[in-house]
Structure 1
Amino acid sequence: MESSRVSEKKKLKRREILEKKKAIDQLIKAASAPIDHLASFPSFRYFNRNGLCLRLESGRGDKLSHCMKQCIQNLLKANMEGLYGFEWAAEEKVKRREMVAPEAHYIFVHWNANEMMKDSSPTPSLGFLHYRFTLEEEIPVLYLYELQLDSSVQGKGLGKFLMQLIELIAQENRMGAVVLTVQKSNSLAMKFYISKLRYVVSSISPSRVDPLVGVEKNYEILCKTFDHEAKVILEVHSEGD
């Protein structure tokens, strides 16, 4: 009888695990389905502050025009080549592959001025977010692959505005956290995320998984969690917390 009860408990536990996995898979699939995540947040379609008059537009990796691909590549090179140094050539190839994946979601930042729309050519993009819905340690998360802004629109509150939007999209789609990667050499970005936006170095970051290995890595993984399970698994707690 005892062995029968143990067996039943194991079956029940396995069923619970499988059902949870199925629910999370469906959650990721549902989050990834919409083409325009901005539709739920119409107030974020425009940014009119600090002398900037901008509009936001959604996109997807497998729907990018040739012009937009070139714009993304140029902005990535301008902002990241110096940070990566000699590693940039290899990293650029990786980013080009990631850029056009169907699971890659985008929010583009354009000028919102009538004179920019008189001809039929696409409005030049001043920046973009590249994000995906995925799993980290079995937690559904919005992983922010890129936040890139042209130098002409930096330092005017746009980055914080875009991160507020990303966090809203994550919570709207029931993600447990926003996760992102930052180059250690990018001190401005590190300060922006940790000091201004209150992100923390995640437990999945190389420096937390294995400090000896982490020293050799040129990046940290940061996160902001939205529920208890994500907090316990993805954040790092000091003793006594």
Structure 2
Amino acid sequence: MLIRRLHSSIQSFGKIVPSNLKGKKKSSQEWLTRQLNDPYVERAKIMNYRCRSAFKLLEIDQKYSLIKPGFTVVDCGAAPGSWSQVAVKHSNADGSKQGMPKGMVIGIDLLQIYPIEHATLFGNMDFTKPENQDKIRAQLGERRIDCILSDMAPNATGVRYLDQENIITLCYSVLRFAILMSSPNASLLMKVWDNAEVSVLEKNIQKYYTHVKRIKPSASRSDSAENFLLARGFVGIER
């Protein structure tokens, strides 16, 4: 219902043209204009989410029920923290749903992440480094992961094929970790950019999950090459 109400409210927004763009680069002008006219940006402020990307996860979770009370969630590429904020609430890591099991949320990012109550965050850490994955394992203890999220993306180089190769490399690092650490029937959600290798990645994921599909939530900008691969029903290495 939340997502439906948001979609209907979008129609009421008129385009805002900022008046303080003099002297700014064209790219900066375009970014500022887009931000001012993006209803998800304003909605994120109202609902106290750190950025608009929260609504991507909210929409996906509303449709597919990825995160439930008691779930253990690992958020890769967590900064600034909006997905971890959603995960804390939906997994009941904050204990707000009395009588329901409490979950655990762990976030990691190359950037610093300001603290989020009831989440364990590893800032300034590269997820792809084995020693940092070991830190996540140590934090998990005996727990297995019920849902792995990845909104990771490499810094753009401006070279299309290289950028595409880099994000696919990140995806495989998440997939390897998921195969080793997921609980039975766990889910995996990862960001990709449209390119020929995504289909190959999708087929590889299908070896370990019963359902895999490519999705693009409404909060993902229409002019973006961004998509998400959603895998559900982790079955492990042997099928």
- If each structure's helix is expressed as a fraction of its own residues, which one has the higher value? 1
- If each structure's strand is expressed as a fraction of its own residues, which one has the higher value? 1
Q: TM-score, normalised by structure 1?
A: 0.31
Structure with bigger gyration radius: 1
